[in-house]
Chains A and B, each alone.
Chain A
Amino acid sequence: MATRRDFVAGAAAAGAAAALPGAGRAESAKPKHSGVIDTHFHFWAPEYLKLSQDWGAAHHAQPDPRIANWTPQVALDEMDRGGVKTAMLSLASIREGFWGLDAAKASNVIRACDDFAAKMMSDHKGRFGLFAPLNMIDLESSLKEAEYALDQVHADGIGIQSSANGRYPGDPYYNPLWEELNRRKAVVFFHGPVPDCCGALKVGPGINPAVGEVTFDMTRAVMSLLANGALARYRDIKWLFSYGGGATPYIAGRIEAFFKDAKNLHDIAPNGVMGELAKLHYDTVNVTAAPSFAALTKLAPISQITYGTDFPYFTNDQLDTLDQRGLAAKDLEAIHSGNAKRLLPRLAKV
């Protein structure tokens, strides 16, 4: 407990606190929830940790103790505290494409991430799943990474960022990748980076750019897939977006207002803009407050919403916030785990 508080105080003092795990940990109490699946949960393979730390040092970024101190056991402790049975592992925010690496080096690190996660899954049966990373800076090697992850490591899906080097997922460059993932009926989980456009904007003292920028970039990814027709073309991909879609549920009306008279509307959005957005999947990270949750549940049915924490940046306090939303027991259960089991049938068996 004391260490955690010190840690939090240290992070705040460093002025770089991206987010802080909830205090008030009840060490031995039985968790209020059980059997929860967390679809937004981060991990650091040693090779990947070194890479991101080297990049941070070269770019004068504040080191984040939550990352340096992360271990599989820290992850399990938080899961046990919250009553989370299984957490789906994915990479946290990536900068400069894939930390400035070329594609070959990026592929090496990505393979190390896959193997590390596979070991976590086999060491701790039933506790972890994997949304495997792709480098996304190079199409050919990304395709090979997908093959390795899905065929060799048996990843549960793919986990990528909402943009890489300013390229958004609807860019036709990625079409062969979506074709392959569509053929495999893959789950594709999108995480938000602080994109290069916006990380240095001087919004104000003490504002971590991650506060707003990752949600904005997530929204751009949704729009990019919509505007380029990828949502309509790749019907078998199960798209899962972080942070309740970024800001998508709130600016959906504006998107529709701009697109409703577009000549190609029927091609890119056969169900209309709102209809297409309602078919996507969204996690609950940082949108369990009443206003955002109201917007999300008006945009998408409960069946499209999965629970996520964004650990170690945020914690299972969000389970408690979710309890306050007045959901029916069956809706809460669907968000906690039922929807994830439908998306990822392996989890129903573990």
Chain B
Amino acid sequence: MSENSSDVASRRQFLTGLAAAGAAAAMPSGLAFAQGAKAAKPKHHGVIDVHHHFWAPEYLKAQDDWEDAHHVPHLPGMQNWSPEVPIAAMDKAGVQTSIVSLASISQGMWGLDPAAATKVCHACADYGAKMVSDHKGRFGLFAPLNMIDVDSSLKEAEYAFDQVHADGIGIQSSYNGMYLGDPTYDPIWQELNRRKAVVFVHGPNNACCSAIKDGPGMFGSVVEVTFDVTRTCASLLTSGALQKYPNIQWIIAYGGGTLPFVAGRINNFIKQMKNVNEIAPHGVTAELQKFNVDTVNVTNPSSMAAMTKFLPASQILYGTDFFYFNNDQLDELDHLHLSAKELDAIHSGNAKRLIPRLAKA
């Protein structure tokens, strides 16, 4: 760990503040705000971070307004986020490029109607595109779709790819309780399949579960987002979407949520379904092994043991979940006895293969 004591001290203050607020949606551990870039040469270099968040002003306002209306305290430090904050953290750790996407969303797209949501999505696409062009080679963009309305989501996808040249799409695992395998979304997947798009799937604050009271200091984000992305993997499997749209390159956040661990159980149940040959002609496990996953919060020995037994290293991509979590995860990855070749693939090689533009950046 390369943190100095002031990092830890400020992190503690921060967490204390959060605990006092009593309702934090998530606890940042990134804490780059108060830190200057260190002079020391980073241990890694050329890393690509595929799970990295950004806040366009219009988007932050939509989030703040929703939180105010629902008496959810704002995350401390959010207002101080600017593109310079991640760049300092990236420089410190040796991250060349971060692909920016939206963090957890509540109530569809913060309760907005499709027209208002589209405006916010466009503003995010524009803001992300400006980050990409202002800081050459440092950012990529997984552009958001509102996902509460198919027609406008399709238009957002067209705008994202054809106007701002996004590197892919970044969405949540469910919207208002609808999972990604729902047939409603078929037109979107048809279009993204045609474009051979990368689709990054992130975990939302799902209304079902965010308020489950499993204890003080527990809040939805800790475990619920991992469950929600797992649900959507199962949804994409049983709806046949994985079969029907083979050209979509899925990247599932948090190492697939819980997928590598519960894949055996999913197989035990789903293999008995009547339509299993349609949705999984080569077996349930083979279908589930089509997913790519990121490394957020799974760089510990038990998680990585399951992940590397479930997927080849070529389908594992480094991610931080900045600014909630930081590049400590690069150091943790170093301790997992991966070969140099595997580490390089996870650090950047796989991302460059999925997003060829990055190989040239």
Contacts and interface: CB of A to CB of B under 8 A. Distances in A.
Considering residues B235, B254, B269, B301, which has the most beta carbons from chain A within 10 angstroms of its beta carbon? B269
Given A215-B262, A216-B258, A256-B300, A295 B305 contact: yes
A22 B266 CA distance: 15
B182 A298 contact: no
B305 A294 contact: yes
Interface in A169-208: 170-171, 197-198, 201-208
Interface stretch (B79-87, B114-122, B209-217): B209-217
Contacts of A295: 260-261, 302-303, 305-306
Interface string B281-321: 00000000000000011111111011101100000000000
Contact of A204 (B214, B239, B300): B239
A207 B301 CA distance: 31
A263 B15 CA distance: 8
Contacts of A41: none
A278 B26 CA distance: 25
B267 interface: yes
A204 B235 contact: yes
Contact of B302 (A8, A201, A204, A252): A252
Interface in B195-241: 208-209, 212-218, 221-223, 226-227, 230-232, 234-239
Nearest to B267: A289
Contacts of B265: 211, 215, 243, 286-287, 292
A276 to B, nearest CB: 14
A12 B272 contact: yes
A15 B212 CA distance: 30
Given A19-B268, A216-B258, A255 B274 contact: no
A300 B268 CA distance: 24
B134 to A, nearest CB: 31
B252 to A, nearest CB: 13
Interface string A1-33: 000000010001101011110000000000000
Interface stretch (A47-55, A104-112, A148-156, A221-229): A221-229
A228 B270 CA distance: 36
A18 B298 contact: no
Contacts of B77: none
B135 interface: no
Classify the secondary structure of B's interface with A.
helix
Interface residues of A, number: 69
A8 B272 contact: yes
B97 interface: no
B223 A219 contact: yes
Contact of A257 (B29, B177, B230, B239): B29
A275 interface: no
Contact of B255 (A250, A255, A287, A297): A250
A286 B267 CA distance: 9
A70 interface: no
Interface residues of B, number: 68
B355 interface: no
Classify the secondary structure of A's interface with B.
helix
A13 B209 CA distance: 31
Nearest to A18: B269
B290 to A, nearest CB: 15
Nearest to A255: B222
Contacts of B236: 204
B356 interface: no
Given A168-B213, A203-B235, A211-B234, A251 B303 contact: yes
Given A224-B214, A291-B307, 18 more contacts: A12-B272, A13-B274, A168-B212, A168-B213, A168-B215, A197-B212, A202-B177, A211-B269, A212-B258, A216-B258, A228-B215, A249-B261, A249-B303, A250-B226, A253-B302, A257-B29, A258-B29, A295-B303
12 contacts: A171-B215, A203-B231, A204-B234, A210-B269, A212-B262, A216-B258, A223-B218, A223-B223, A253-B299, A254-B297, A291-B309, A292-B262
Closest CB pairs A-B (n = 5): A289-B264, A253-B300, A227-B215, A247-B258, A250-B261
